[in-house]
């Protein structure tokens, strides 16, 4: 459709989760609870790691970065969803929508890199314990974390730039609760093949490389754990690794289905439901699995709370 024959769209409508008023109140309460828990739990983790000297170790340094990321990831879309539910005003400007897309995928790409990095940390700790402190020095940890964030910033940059040059002339409804790539692409009235190709090449590279690296790390970890003679030590290691693998499996199962399946351009209504798993479920599970179930973190939390009461 030519630009001269159509009116440019300036706002999109995020359909979200259509529901009767009673259900909207329930959804608002649910999203608010998820958001408060995610922010509170991650702030607590970051604070405890910073305040407790014995937690100044690579694993907790990476967990702090991960917690910081989770706070911003949920902030990028949940407050907007809650405002839409309360006011019924579900519009978002084209510029704000593209900005939301960029920041969400910046954080998602960084999460992939950090998950791979955290699996490498556990690999070194379990498979090369005597060299752990010499391999993962403070400088190396800082450089690796910075590389994750820089990679996350750069990964969705070109798709977002190309998307900002697209022309939207209607319809303007996005059947999602945030500005996802494919729903935006289908609303474009101009050729979006360059943006589409660049996005899916990056998605394949980022998701598959991080997923395979993480899985290979855990294969080595599990094979090493199986060689532990102590039943107590083996069970402790399996308990930790098993919990981590559950979160990783849920996260990657959802993102692989959403972004690198063969029919990625064809969108289904179920995509919105699948998005819930990595948008809501994993941010809630991550602080529980990675930190709050950790005995050292729980003891540190109790000490910190005790000092505040005194």
Domain ranges of the chain: 3-304
Bigger pLDDT: 259 or 17? 259
- Reported as a pLDDT band with limits 50, 70 and 90, residue 309 is low
Which contacts qualify for 248-251: CB closer than 8 Å, 24 or more apart? 248/115, 248/119, 248/214, 248/218, 250/277, 250/278, 250/281, 250/282, 250/285, 251/111, 251/115, 251/277, 251/278, 251/282
Distance from the Cα of residue 4 to its chain's centroid? 40
pTM of the model: 0.89
Angle between helices 94-127 and 231-259 (to 10 degrees): 150
Mean pLDDT of the chain: 84
Distance from the Cα of residue 164 to its chain's centroid? 23
pLDDT at 261: 66
Closest CA to 77 of 176, 178, 182, 152: 178
Bigger pLDDT: 166 or 152? 152
Q: Structure tokens of 309?
A: 């009461």
Q: Domain spanning 3-304 has what CATH number? A: 1.20.1070.10
Q: What percent of the chain has pLDDT over 90?
A: 34
CA atoms of 52 and 308, how far apart (whole Å): 14
Q: For 237-243, what is the mean pLDDT?
A: 69
């Amino acid at each position: 459709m030519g630009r001269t024959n159509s009116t440019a769209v300036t706002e999109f409508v995020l359909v979200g989760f259509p529901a009767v008023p009673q259900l909207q109140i329930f959804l608002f309460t649910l999203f608010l609870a998820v958001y408060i828990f995610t922010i509170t739990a991650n702030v607590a983790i970051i604070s405890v790691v910073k305040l407790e000297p014995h937690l100044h170790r690579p694993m907790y340094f990476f967990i702090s970065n991960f917690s910081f990321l989770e706070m911003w990831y949920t902030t990028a879309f949940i407050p907007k969803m809650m405002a839409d539910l309360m006011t019924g005003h579900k519009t978002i400007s084209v510029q704000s929508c593209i900005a939301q897309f960029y920041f969400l995928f910046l954080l998602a790409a960084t999460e992939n890199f950090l998950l791979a990095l955290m699996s490498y940390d556990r690999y070194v700790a379990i498979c090369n314990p005597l060299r752990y402190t010499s391999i993962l020095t403070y400088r190396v940890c800082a450089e690796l974390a910075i590389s994750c964030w820089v990679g996350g910033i750069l990964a969705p940059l070109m798709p977002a730039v190309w998307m900002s040059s697209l022309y939207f002339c209607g319809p303007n409804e996005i059947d999602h609760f945030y500005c996802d790539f494919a729903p935006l692409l289908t609303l474009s009235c101009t050729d979006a093949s360059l943006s589409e190709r660049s996005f899916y090449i990056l998605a394949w590279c980022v998701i598959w490389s991080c997923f395979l690296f993480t899985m290979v790390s855990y294969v080595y970890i599990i094979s090493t754990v199986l060689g532990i003679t102590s039943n107590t030590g083996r069970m402790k290691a399996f308990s930790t690794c098993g919990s981590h693998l559950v979160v990783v499996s849920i996260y990657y199962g959802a993102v692989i289905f959403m972004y690198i399946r063969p029919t990625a351009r064809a969108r289904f209504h179920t995509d919105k439901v699948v998005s819930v798993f990595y948008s809501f479920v994993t941010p809630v599970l991550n602080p529980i699995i990675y930190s709050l179930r950790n005995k050292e973190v729980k003891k540190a939390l109790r000490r910190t709370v005790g000092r505040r009461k005194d």
